[in-house]
Amino acid sequence: MNKKTNLSGLSAVLLFVMTLLSPAAWAGLPFFDSQGDKLPTLAPMLEKTTPAVVNIATTGTVRVQENPLFSDPFFRHFFGDRFPNQPRERKTSSLGSGVIVDAKKGYIMTNHHVIAKADEITVTLRDGRSLKAKLIGTDPDTDIAVIQVPAENLTAVPFADSEALRVGDFVVAIGNPFGLGQTVTSGIVSALSRSGLGIEGYEDFIQTDASINPGNSGGALVNLRGELVGINTAIFSQNGGNVGIGFAIPINMAESIMQQLIEHGEVKRGRLGAQAQNLTPDLAQAFNLQQGRGAVITRVSTGSPADKAGLQAGDIVTEINGKQVRNADSLRNTIGLLRVGEKVTLQILREGKSKKLVVEIKEAVIETTQGEQVHRYLAGATLTDIEDDSRRHGRIAGVLVTEVERGSPAWRAGIRPNDVITAVNRKPVKNVQAMQKLLGKSRGLQLHLRRGGDTLFLYLQ
């Protein structure tokens, strides 16, 4: 077989491959000449896109407690001060990724969990420059954070419309897995609107089989045009490595959060004031409905925006501003991402009849308690009860930590925003009031926390 025959065979294979791809897909694949052959490649697109994806390194400190046995009077009677019971601090570090979204102002979008424990944030650009970054704002509920670096010769990545994504679209993940340096992987959109995973407070994930590994968090998920469709944030894995199931936050959601973080330094979430559950096939049959998608309102808080608009328990919400409501998580996500003061139109079913309600979204007024009012070791933490319309309500009982001041006793003890305190001194607590009564003048403080999907104990003294 001669060289001409080999080239002919290669051309036939390439032609077959190209026929498998839709015109929209292969049109985005440029070509280059190599030894007379024309081959598809993503290199030209990546050459424009990868300078906008950065590596993020953080350093911080955490308080390390000695074994509580060392403070036991019986133990110290025999061993004295041979084992000093003094808190120590140790340095921590982490690696992640980020995406430059505004080259003129130096804004970089990343994940909250990448910079959550950071005292210092260092950004390394594709050209090797290292820049110190400052935190603009962070939102643990969506796992989005915005940091800023000096705007000097930066490249930003343009945004796509993540609502236009379809299952099967080709995507490319760019990040810094395992601290190896910038790495590119490709795949397709495996699924859309993944929720109920318990990873974040608000979930509407893009699922992809493009390899995402530890260190990719905060990196870019782009389409074949080099446009940003999502922020890589999590993987589904039993061993910590990629198994073909990765999740990214849709850029439409991330951009909405980013704008609020830049404007206010935080996200001011709207409140509907109603609880809901999924419209299951059994419930649909009980309501004599053909459709099986929607959210059934189970409770409406008195005086809430939902109450004032006329929403009632038993109503089925099917659309918000013309967009279909798939389930209770979909309803909560949509409301939680709306700006305070915005008016929305709810399409509902009530006793089989379609009806429209206009609701003005109000800012959630949450009663909080300062940690030092509960116990001196909790100074610097802000505590609150779990709201009725919170995703956690009914799933976990305890006290929610909404804020922790950096460097405070609570921060040094290891308490972080979004932690849920489920028990103190080995006794369960349901709310702040119960926690105050239980502690009284207790000297030591042992906390049982839920953090994401993990549980941990902290001993404060």
Assess contact for 302 and 269: CB atoms under 8 A: no
Which among 454, 405, 435, 410 has a CA at the least distance from the CA of 87?
Answer: 410
77 given a catalytic annotation: no
The whole-angstrom separation of Cα 398 and Cα 432 is 8
The whole-angstrom separation of Cα 375 and Cα 425 is 12
Residue with tokens 């929305």: 344
- Active-site residue, selected from the candidate residues 112, 113, 375, 448: 113
- Which amino acid is located at 160 in the chain? A
Assess contact for 22 and 167: CB atoms under 8 A: no
- Range 70-74 contact pairs with CB under 8 angstroms and sequence separation of 24 or more: 71/444, 71/461
- Active-site residue, selected from the candidate residues 94, 162, 211, 217: 217
Which among 413, 418, 417 has a CA at the least distance from the CA of 457?
Answer: 413
- What is the phi/psi pair of residue 178, to 5°? 55, 20
Rounded to a whole number, what is the distance in angstroms from the first to the last CA of the chain? Answer: 80
Q: For residue 189, give Cα distances in angstroms to 27, 332, 394.
A: 18, 24, 33
113 given a catalytic annotation: yes
256 given a catalytic annotation: no
- Active-site residue, selected from the candidate residues 143, 204, 329, 389: 143
Buried b (16+ CB within 10 A) or exposed e, 34-54: eeeeeeeebeebbeebbbbbb
Question: Kindly report the CA angle at 401 between 337 and 232, in degrees rounded to 5?
Answer: 45
Active site residues: 113, 143, 217
